[in-house]
Amino acid sequence: MNILMVCLGNICRSPLADGLLRSKVKRDGLAAIVDSAGTANYHVGGPPDERMTETAMNNGIDISSLRARQFEVSDYDNFDLIYVMDKSNYHNVTRLARNDKDIDKVKLILDELGHSNNIQEVPDPYYGGQAGFDHVFDLLDRSTDIIIEKLKND
Ligand code: 4NP
């Protein structure tokens, strides 16, 4: 199973989702390949936002070596599942889809939290304070726990 995490800049939310899932896949000895990308090209080649890297590190996840790249149509061929952080990402990714099979691969990551969850989108923490980064960590930690359980049951 190849899983791609997507946000806008690929420097805050999707690198964390990538780092969390990668670390849990390794911890549990699963075979999945995990990567991340942004729909925009603003930060291509750059490292994750320092505030996200620090928040992740404080929780035992090292995302410092990840580098931003832009989502491309070939990602539809290379990944089985494409998790987007918000509806704007969903729109930007699915407008590059070539067919229904491509579209079926794209899911809002917070949909994994199910009915108990009352927010659909991972808020963009870029222009906010530390509380926003902690909130993103909590949402993505819980979502990736559920993704891991699904991978184990595959
Ligand atoms: P991300 O956050 O999509 O979670 O990586 C953002 C990072 C940078 C910008 C926007 C969102 N930006 O406009 O530069």
Residue nearest ligand 1's atom 12 by CA: 9
Residues 133-141, mean pLDDT to the nearest whole number = 98
> pLDDT tier at 9 (50, 70, 90 boundaries)?
very high
Q: Give the per-residue pLDDT at 118.
A: 85
Which residues does the annotation mark as catalytic?
7, 13, 124
**Tokens standing for residue 51:** 């505030």
pTM score, two decimals? 0.98
Q: Which amino acid is at 78?
A: N
Mean pLDDT across the chain:
97
Intra-chain end-to-end CA distance of the chain, in Å: 9
Neighbours of 13 (CB within 10 A): 34
- Quote the ligand 1 centre to 124 CA distance (angstroms): 7
Whether the pLDDT of residue 154 is over 90: the answer is: no
- Quote the ligand 1 centre to 110 CA distance (angstroms): 18
Give the pLDDT confidence of 82-133 residue by residue, as tens digits: 999 999 999 999 999 999 999 999 999 999 998 777 899 999 999 999 999 9
Say yes or no: CB of residue 39 within 6 Å of ligand 1.
Answer: no
- Cα–Cα distance for residue pair 40/36, rounded to 1 Å: 12
Neighbours of 63 (CB within 10 A): 24
Give the pLDDT confidence of 66-92 residue by residue, as tens digits: 999 999 999 999 999 999 999 999 999
- Give me the CATH code for the 2-153 domain, please: 3.40.50.2300
Q: Give the per-residue pLDDT at 81.
A: 98
Say yes or no: CB of residue 42 within 6 Å of ligand 1.
Answer: yes
